[in-house]
Amino acid sequence: MVNFSFIIILSFILVYQNVIILNEETLILICFITFCYLAYNRLHKSIQDNLQEQSVFLKSSIKVSLNLLLQELTSNIKTQDKLRSLAIDFKNLGDHFLRLNFLLLGTLPLRFIKNHEKVYPKKLFFANHLEQQTTKLLALILSHKLTKIPTLQKFYTKSFKISFFLCIDKISMREYLETI
């Protein structure tokens, strides 16, 4: 170790020769250096033990956190793999859906035609039959109404003596006589 008596004698000589000026800053520096030296000599064992304990604690804490991080990363990687496979499954499902739609769209017109080949002849036959019946009914109604016209005309001509009907009656009578 350093001999304290030698250091003290040397500092007295340097102060006496004015190599070292004793002012407040120098005295504070000497006190600080002395404090550091004494603190190191007296406390270095306990500080070293404390720092050693803290380093062991930090080392174990870092290992635990790294293990947790590793577990999180592996679970994250597994999740990403599942998501990739899920995306692939959705893509395959979409491809199957498109193929099914194209297949259905290809056969749909044929099914539509076959279904309507069964239904339309029946509908057309019904419409044709309905048209014939309507035509017969209209013809009957018209003939019935037309037969009523001469009787109504005679009634209006003789009962009401309306000049319009009298004129028409005279014209038709003249035409009838000319044809005879």
pLDDT in tens, 26-37: 888 888 988 888
- Of the candidates 157, 160, 159, 152, the residue with the CA atom closest to the CA atom of residue 171: 157
- And the tokens for 130? 């309905």
- And the tokens for 117? 């080949």
Cite the DSSP H helix spans in the chain: 4-16, 24-155, 163-179
pLDDT at 162: 66
- And the tokens for 49? 């033990």
Segment 7-16, tens digit of pLDDT: 778 888 888 8
Using pLDDT thresholds of 50, 70 and 90, give the confidence band for residue 170: confident
Q: How far apart are CA 153 and CA 159, in angstroms?
A: 10
How many alpha carbons lie under 13 Å from residue 162 in its C-beta half-sphere?
A: 10
Q: How far apart are CA 158 and CA 24, in angstroms?
A: 156
Q: How far apart are CA 14 and CA 20, in angstroms?
A: 6
Which residues, 6+ apart, have CB-to-CB distance to 160 below 8 Å? none
Segment 60-113, tens digit of pLDDT: 999 999 999 999 999 999 988 888 888 888 889 989 999 988 888 887 777 777
pTM of the predicted structure, to 2 decimals: 0.34
Evaluate if residue 161 carries a pLDDT over 70.
Answer: no
- Contact call for residues 169 and 153 (beta carbons, < 8 A): yes
